Amino acid sequence: MYLKKSLIAVCAILALAAFTHLWNLVGFPEIFYDEGVYLRRASNVIQGLGPQEGVYYDHPYFGQLFLAGLYYITGFPSSLGTQANSDSIANLFLVPRLFMAIIAIFDTFVVYKITQKKYGTRIALFASAFFAVMPITWIMRRILLDSILLPFFLLSILFAIYSKDDRRFVLASGACMGFAIFTKIPVFTMIPLVAYLIYVGTKDKKLIGLWLIPVLILPMIWPAYSILVGNFEQHWLHDVFWQTQRNRIGLLQVTAAFLAMDPILFILGFSGIILAVVNRDRFMLLWSGPYLIFLGLVGFVQYFHWMMMLPVICIGAAQLVQKIGDRSKNPKYDTAPFLGIAMFGLVCTTLVISTNLTMTQFEAAAFSANLVKQNPNSEILANPVYAWAIHNTLRLSSVPKDYSVVLFGKMPSRYVLVSDPHFRRDISSGEQLPEILNSTTLVKSYPDIKTRYNLMSYPYSNLNYCHDADVIEIRTSK
């Protein structure tokens, strides 16, 4: 009977995860600059251009290879229409966002299995429910490397736990960790956690060595390729170190962002982690400690870098809520704290994900595409979101990858400029960007769509972190 109730509860949690990640799929959040970069790189792989783009080495290759594989399986984007209207533009982002939603639902199930193995079914249900419905989990909707690596990292943990009963899972765990690091390097901070789980489960140090083989070999493909083409010293080393220090957005700022987006989960989760560490829970300590130290040391941190921490934060919150519930004098009400928090989180998340922040982006992309269609000699200067969408709508091979091309080459004589929030933030990157802006005439302007909502009230304060949903100007060269 208990097993049947647990199964029903898990199915209900997965249904909630499906709702929070599939509802209003392309309407929220706005399409972020980096999403356009990764979509373009995956398109390059499909077109036979390879995973490396130019001589800039910012991240390993598995993210674009993984997306390209999904492109190939689904026939995307060639299976879609090529009309230059906002609906066609929206459809271009629908399929990749759907990929991310499916991954997030799968992540929810893996979080449940990990927590069940470590702490029992009750805490597993609490943790996976928080992971499914709490407001900050909207960050997993974005098409980012962090979203792509998360299932591989979680599977590496789960397989390491399973290796206690079947040592064949050691290599599977290592392969998943290798692919996660081959997606984004900071996952290396989780190596002590998974190695610890394998040693505790098997009591065999040799198996840790076996596990390390794919963990090290797969990510080494990235620097090995740069050595092969002669770019290791001049570009790879320089770009990797620059990537960590390019802006001074540190741990304090992104901690403030987490607290603003989801104060309940932040307080409960970190309180639970601190309590677990006091109780010498090495699993929680090794998951959170090295990664937090890494975020504190590097100079460039974004709010979505919390993604790898979200599962352990939800586990910490679940443990704390369980302890609070256990203090209830009436056993009938011991789940009341959990249900209250989960319902509050679901309501807040529903309000946030029901907003529409992409409408003006799609309209601006469609309008720009039609301008280029009417003026074939003009080039598009825009961030990768618009450039990728217009390229795949009009099938134009001459669309520059983004506006930064003018910093390193000749400025076009005729162009359409999409002056969006990201372009305006980058305006100081070089004298060429102000020059192309000052040499244009405003054709059409789209307002800041976030002003429809009260950004000072919770949970709409989450929209403050949708930075690219702001005023968009379409300009043409004089």
pLDDT in tens, 182-214: 999 999 999 999 999 999 999 999 999 999 999
| Cα(47)–Cα(444) distance, integer angstroms | 33
- The pLDDT score that the predictor gives to residue 334 is 81
| Cα(14)–Cα(372) distance, integer angstroms | 44
Region 161-180 average pLDDT: 96
**349-365 pLDDT per residue, tens:** 999 999 999 999 999 99
- The pLDDT score that the predictor gives to residue 80 is 64
Dmax (CA) of the chain: 77
CA torsion, points 88, 417, 27, 41, in degrees to nearest 10? 70
- The pLDDT score that the predictor gives to residue 245 is 65
Taking 3-state DSSP, the helix, strand and coil percentages for the chain, each rounded to the nearest 5, stand at 70, 5, 25
> Contact, 85 vs 374, CB < 8 A?
no
Region 230-247 average pLDDT: 80
- The pLDDT score that the predictor gives to residue 75 is 87
Q: Is 168 helix (H, G, I), strand (E, B) or coil?
A: coil
Cα–Cα distance list, 366 to 67, 164, 396, 404, 419 (Å): 24, 55, 14, 21, 14
Q: How many CB atoms lie within 10 A of CB 79?
A: 10
- The pLDDT score that the predictor gives to residue 327 is 80
Question: Is the bond preceding residue 192 a cis peptide, omega within 30 degrees?
Answer: no
Compute the mean pLDDT over every residue in the chain, rounded to the nearest whole number.
91
Question: Is the bond preceding residue 421 a cis peptide, omega within 30 degrees?
Answer: no
**Banded model confidence at residue 88, pLDDT cuts 50, 70, 90:** confident
Tokens encoding 434: 């102000």
Predicted TM-score (pTM) above 0.85: yes
Among 375, 444, 386, CA closest to 412: 375
- Confidence check: pLDDT of 82 > 70: no
> Contact, 170 vs 211, CB < 8 A?
yes
Q: Residue 412 carries which DSSP code?
A: P
- pLDDT > 70: what percent of the chain? 96
Tell whether the torsion through CA atoms of 104, 195, 159 and 12 is positive or negative.
negative
- The pLDDT score that the predictor gives to residue 352 is 97
- The pLDDT score that the predictor gives to residue 328 is 73
- The pLDDT score that the predictor gives to residue 224 is 95
- The pLDDT score that the predictor gives to residue 257 is 95
Q: Is 328 helix (H, G, I), strand (E, B) or coil?
A: coil
Region 414-431 average pLDDT: 91
446: which strand partners? 472
Tokens encoding 464: 């403050």
Region 457-470 average pLDDT: 94
- The pLDDT score that the predictor gives to residue 392 is 74
**Banded model confidence at residue 81, pLDDT cuts 50, 70, 90:** low
Tokens encoding 45: 């792989």
Cα–Cα distance list, 232 to 125, 184, 237, 368 (Å): 47, 18, 6, 38
- The pLDDT score that the predictor gives to residue 277 is 86
- Confidence check: pLDDT of 120 > 90: yes
**377-410 pLDDT per residue, tens:** 888 899 999 999 888 766 766 678 889 888 888 8
Higher pLDDT, 231 or 312: 312
- Confidence check: pLDDT of 24 > 80: yes
- The pLDDT score that the predictor gives to residue 330 is 72
Region 105-111 average pLDDT: 98
**270-288 pLDDT per residue, tens:** 999 999 889 999 999 999 9
